[in-house]
A and B are shown apart, each in its own frame.
Chain A
Amino acid sequence: MEAIRPVTEAPDMKDQPAVKADPKWFIMGGVVSIVAWLALIPLGFLIWQSFKTPQTARVPSVWTLKNYIEAYSSSETLVLFSNSVQFAAGTAVLALVIGTGLAWMSERTNTPFKPLFYALSIIPLIIPGILFVVSWIMLASPKIGIINLVLQSLFGTDTVYVDIYSMAGMIWVDGLHYAPIAFLLMTAAFRAMDPSLEESAMMSGASMFQIFRNITLKLAWPAVAASFLILFVRSIESFEVPALLGLPVGIQVFTSSIYDAIHSYPSNIGLAAAYAITLLVITMGGIYMQSRITGQAGKYSTVTGKGFRPRTIDLGRWKYLTAGIFIFYAVLVVILPFIVLLWSSLQKYYSVPSMAALKNVSLTAYKTVIDYPSVGTAVWNSFILSIGSATTVMLLTAIVCWIVLRTKIPGRWLLDNVASVPLVLPGLVMGLAIMVCYLNIGGGIYGTIWIMFIAYVTRFMPYGMRYNTTSMVQLHKELEESAAMSGASWFTVFRRVVLPLLKPGLLAGWIYIVIVSVRELSSSILLYSPGTEVVSIVIWEMWQNGQYVELSAFGVMLIATLFVFVMLAQWIGKRFGVKET
């Protein structure tokens, strides 16, 4: 038995400070400040701006409520509001119906080509929104739309069968564009649903229809409602469709009104800010309701944590119908838009497909695009911005997630919410807020590529949070604790254990942010200046200039590049990623 020396004899321990100045506190403090700055300061400036009059050289800016009065007193506001809600709700319903149908077919039936479902539902995500809209204009515009022309020549009339420049057209294009998101959301919901709940209903003697109505639908209800709200928010924020399809025929929604207010002369930033705040209130309401529903979903507890392979329903001969629906969807969302772009890119001047036009096929447009003055800069800018912001976001949010999930610092839940604030900010509103912020702060950031970098990092921070949280909650806390017990410092634990284990999630999030950064238009459009254009801005400019052929060629190259990038990244991920345990 060993005698214990009295405590007072512990010599070197006497003067040890309670908490040492650990470098981890500096890193964590820095990260928290950056996140708070990015998420909150521009928002503050936006609110401030909405109560100010426009500043000119002679008249200084003063406090006012005029912006709100102007925004709300006009009778157009009611139209604006109803247009926005109509558009967003229509889009959300269309996307949800398509997405849920496809998800059910893919998860619960024996439809052929099922493995292709997932791949084909990812591909639309890499097509930039503006290209998707442009291709649908080429397909369904009343004058040059291929669908109209084909139907007209078929029936020998000059009736306009489809008109994309309408509310229905806007809903159609945006709904198709968001259907893949609905598909992914609902697939996750179907996967999380324990099939034994349905099987026990079947054993109780319920019919197929009764099971669907009383069990499946009821269980899926929180997921359906949450998905609807997400889609509603995403579509009320969308800018490309209202700008390209709505503005030419005067169908105004909030996003296009904000854009109009800024681009009118003299630009009315205060009014734009007032609109932006309204839009913000709507999106915040949507996200709040969505999180309430998701929070309550716990009581449905459809996730048991057990791995189960859902039983699939044998559709018999009906499976050819579902396969047909699936192919039709793929044609609408991927094949038709791409072929239209490809066709138009091979022409010297834009013309509808015909035997005569077939003779004029050339690659001139591609050459023009490559020689186009701003293309080189834009491609380089997009490359730097997407790689830079994706890397920054993933590393930044990895530390934020760690703080939220692993420490017991009081108020860490607040940090989580702050980092997710940009989720409720539509891209255009974010662009406006950042513009106002750095115009007033100065510091020479406005007008450089840095302001776009800040915008991208802020805007995609919530995605980084999502990816990192998902993979970090799966990391057993003991993996880090055992490293600490082995004598590793916080920094070493993070670098050698946490980051390598997060690698699959980090990589997936990184790829996603690179893609959305390249597609990004709605924030960039308010922040770019000559020399800092990005690819989506070049496409926008080409559209404004009527350079449809060059636009198509550029679009085709862009989609091809993104496609190759995704494939490459997937391959690298499979090859060098951490193997599943």
Chain B
Amino acid sequence: MLTVRALNTEYPSQRGPAVKAAQDVTFEVPAGKFFTLLGPSGCGKTTTLRSIAGLERPVSGEIVVNGRVIFSSERKIFVPPNQRNFGMVFQSYAIWPHMTVFANAAFPLEVRKTKLSKSAIREKVMRVLHAVALDQYADREATKLSGGQQQRLALARALVMEPELLLLDEPLSNLDAKLRDRMRFELKRIQRELGLTTIYVTHDQGEALALSHEIAVMNEGRIVQVGPPRTIYEHPRTKFVADFIGTTNFIDGVALGIDSATGRWNVRTPAGDLLVHTDSELKPDMRVTVSIRPEDVELSDEATTSGSSLNLTSGLVDQKVFLGDFVDFQVKIGDFMLLSRAHPSLRTPIGEQIHVRLNPDKCVAIPEESSARAAA
């Protein structure tokens, strides 16, 4: 459906060389899927989205939608944004304050080349306003809407043109936390119902995990990892991805060799020798970082006999923080401090010994090189 190939963009800067915003960005989105570009600010995600929209002109690369080339540096093709027929929701919503709710939503139909009759426009607009539950506000001034309503109106305006592609640029970032949660469900429902191919840009990993079929994590202009939310979360390919998505423990270590019993790599770390999962090629004596999420660090008062006996160790409770639905423990294993997220029922006092189990499947070993490259 959407193919982006080797996209490069840069901005001229006042001094020195041009700033490279997106470098060699390549990805593919199948029809009807929700694809998210995730990364910290300045990582090139918005630039990539705006290049797809046609609001920026990349230096090189190619963008193809449904077999239609909308940008190609090689063949000098650049379809202007107003002829691309993509719906877009902007971060600021960009609701026109001098128009009513209806006029805002009707605008794309009024300005397009194939003219529609007044009644046809009315019908289409009311249908889409109904879909976002704004039909009773049709004649209201757009500025009289609340933040969440404006956001829905912006969505309605993007949907009314029956776009080939829906582009969303951090649409939830201006909402308060409660409303954001609600709109997250709303957005997911509408996208799934309409089956609209959607490109979503956000810096909020929670949103990305909640909404997407696939996520592309970007850093410093490049895509670092593409995959379904669960893979990205559980098996980060680089230190950057592991760190950016969720909280994690990094344990530096050295690869020892493949454990004959389990077929897993064994890594020597300050928290003891660990059996790990890895997606990379490891070699003995290679420096690696083991990433494990706090919720995957299992704690118990007694040395459990049930379950796997792999990666078992013990430490001392150094500090704990009660957060309501869970308790964060800092456990000292030798000199190493490990963060663990546990159920509030665990009440081991500070200073006491505690048993720790690190599920090998959740201990992800990342070689130094790739972490070094990601950080560069």
Q: What are 22 pairs between A and B in contact, CB < 8 Å?
A: A5-B67, A7-B69, A10-B64, A13-B69, A13-B77, A16-B77, A16-B79, A478-B92, A478-B93, A478-B94, A484-B54, A484-B55, A484-B80, A485-B55, A485-B87, A486-B157, A486-B161, A487-B83, A487-B108, A487-B111, A501-B98, A578-B97
Cα–Cα distance between A497 and B158 once the two chains are bound (Å): 17
Q: Pick from B31, B72, B97: contact of A7, CB below 8 A.
A: B72
Within 8 Å of chain B (Cβ to Cβ): is A482? yes
Q: Are A476 and B143 in contact (CB under 8 A)?
A: no
Cα–Cα distance between A497 and B142 once the two chains are bound (Å): 14
Asked whether A476 and B94 contact (CB < 8 A) given A7-B62, A7-B69, A481-B55, the answer is: yes
CB-CB < 8 A to B88: which residues of A?
481-482, 485
Q: Are A484 and B82 in contact (CB under 8 A)?
A: yes
Q: In residues 41-59 of chain B, which contact A (Cβ within 8 Å)?
A: 53-55
Q: How close is B189's CB to chain A, nearest CB, in angstroms?
A: 23
Asked whether A482 and B94 contact (CB < 8 A) given A5-B67, A18-B78, the answer is: yes
CB-CB < 8 A to B158: which residues of A?
485
Q: Are B67 and A4 in contact (CB under 8 A)?
A: yes
Cα–Cα distance between A18 and B64 once the two chains are bound (Å): 16
Asked whether A18 and B76 contact (CB < 8 A) given A478-B92, A579-B141, the answer is: yes
Q: How close is A561's CB to chain B, nearest CB, in angstroms?
A: 31
Within 8 Å of chain A (Cβ to Cβ): is B230? no
Asked whether A485 and B82 contact (CB < 8 A) given A4-B1, A5-B67, A581-B143, the answer is: yes
Within 8 Å of chain A (Cβ to Cβ): is B181? no
Q: Are A479 and B69 in contact (CB under 8 A)?
A: no
Q: How close is B4's CB to chain A, nearest CB, in angstroms?
A: 11
Within 8 Å of chain A (Cβ to Cβ): is B185? no
Give 1 or 0 for each of B116-136: 1 = CB within 8 Å of chain A CB: 000000000000000000000
Asked whether A488 and B111 contact (CB < 8 A) given A1-B30, A4-B64, A10-B68, the answer is: yes
CB-CB < 8 A to B98: which residues of A?
500-501, 503, 578
Q: In residues 462-502 of chain A, which contact B (Cβ within 8 Å)?
A: 476, 478-479, 481-490, 492, 496-497, 500-501
Name 17 extra pairs, CB < 8 A, besides A1-B31, A485-B86.
A13-B68, A16-B77, A16-B79, A479-B96, A481-B81, A482-B94, A483-B96, A484-B54, A484-B55, A485-B87, A485-B158, A487-B108, A487-B112, A489-B111, A501-B97, A579-B141, A581-B143
CB-CB < 8 A to A483: which residues of B?
96, 107, 111
Q: Pick from A9, A489, A579: contact of B67, CB below 8 A.
A: A9
CB-CB < 8 A to A158: which residues of B?
none
Cα–Cα distance between A553 and B68 once the two chains are bound (Å): 73
Within 8 Å of chain A (Cβ to Cβ): is B3? yes
Q: Are A482 and B69 in contact (CB under 8 A)?
A: no
**In chain B, what residue has the closest Cβ to A481?**
B55
CB-CB < 8 A to A371: which residues of B?
none
CB-CB < 8 A to A476: which residues of B?
92, 94
Give 1 or 0 for each of A168-188: 1 = CB within 8 Å of chain B CB: 000000000000000000000
Q: In residues 1-30 of chain A, which contact B (Cβ within 8 Å)?
A: 1-2, 4-5, 7, 9-10, 13, 16, 18-20, 22
Within 8 Å of chain A (Cβ to Cβ): is B361? no
**In chain A, what residue has the closest Cβ to B56?**
A408
Within 8 Å of chain A (Cβ to Cβ): is B85? yes
Cα–Cα distance between A341 and B88 once the two chains are bound (Å): 62
**In chain A, what residue has the closest Cβ to B98?**
A500
Q: Pick from A20, A478, A479: contact of B91, CB below 8 A.
A: A478
Q: How close is B141's CB to chain A, nearest CB, in angstroms?
A: 7
Q: Are A479 and B112 in contact (CB under 8 A)?
A: no
Q: In residues 431-488 of chain A, which contact B (Cβ within 8 Å)?
A: 476, 478-479, 481-488
Q: Are B81 and A2 in contact (CB under 8 A)?
A: no
**In chain B, what residue has the closest Cβ to A479?**
B94
Cα–Cα distance between A51 and B108 once the two chains are bound (Å): 59
**In chain A, what residue has the closest Cβ to B30?**
A1
Cα–Cα distance between A476 and B91 once the two chains are bound (Å): 11
Q: Are A489 and B82 in contact (CB under 8 A)?
A: yes
Cα–Cα distance between A503 and B98 once the two chains are bound (Å): 10
